[in-house]
A and B are shown apart, each in its own frame.
Chain A
C-alpha cells in the first residue's frame, strides 16, 4: 500500500495571492499522479494527469509540476480567486487502477 500525503492540510489566502501546495508519494514503481479539484457539495473533478518526471501542466491560473525521483508534485495557483476555494486532492495508482488518494489540501480564498 502506498502512502500519499498532502500538505498543508488547509490554507487561507487573500484574493490575488499566489499559493502552492504539495503532494508526496513513494517514488518506487511510479505510474501516474493525478490532481483533482473538489468543491464543497460537488464531486471531484480531474485537473491534471502527470506521468513523466519533469512534467509541467497548466490550466488557466493553475499549474502543476512533477518530480518522480524524489516523489513529489506541486500544485500552484497564481492570483487566487474566491472561486478557487476547494479541496485539492492528489492520487497515485497502486497497481494500474487502484487509486490511493491523499487527504487533500483545503484552500479558502478570502475576498
Chain B
C-alpha cells in the first residue's frame, strides 16, 4: 500500500488567498484525521471523520477552516481566507477500526502564508 498520501507537500501563498490541502487515506481505513503541527502547540487535532462523516470538528480554529470527505478515498482541508498565523505543517492520518488503532500519518503539507 502507498500509505497516506497528501498533496501538495509544500504550499506558499499570500494572505487572503484560498488554500486547499488534500489527503488520500490508506484503502480500507474508515477513520481520517486532520492535524496541525506548530512549534507552540505541538500536534493539534483539527477534525476527524468516520466513514466520511465528520465526527468531531471542535479543534477547527475558526470559520475560515473547513473540511470535507466526499468519499472514502479523499478528503480536503480548506482555509479561506488564509492568514500568516495559519502557517504550519498539516498532517492527515488514517486508522482502520477494529485494529490496534495506531494511526498512519501522511508526509504532511508545509503551508506558508506570507
Residues of A that sit less than 8 Å from B by CB:
32, 34, 36, 42-46, 49, 89, 93, 95-104
Contact = CB atoms under 8 A, between A and B. Distances in A.
Contacts of B100: 49
Interface of B: 4, 31, 33, 42-43, 45, 48, 50, 55-56, 91, 95, 97, 100-108
DSSP class of B's interface residues: helix, strand, loop or mixed? strand
B70 to A, nearest CB: 21
Given A42-B107, A97-B31, A97-B50, A102 B101 contact: no
Nearest to B102: A46
Contacts, number: 48
A89 B101 CA distance: 15
A10 B16 CA distance: 36
Contacts of A43: 4, 91, 105-108
B43 A101 contact: yes
Contacts of A100: 45
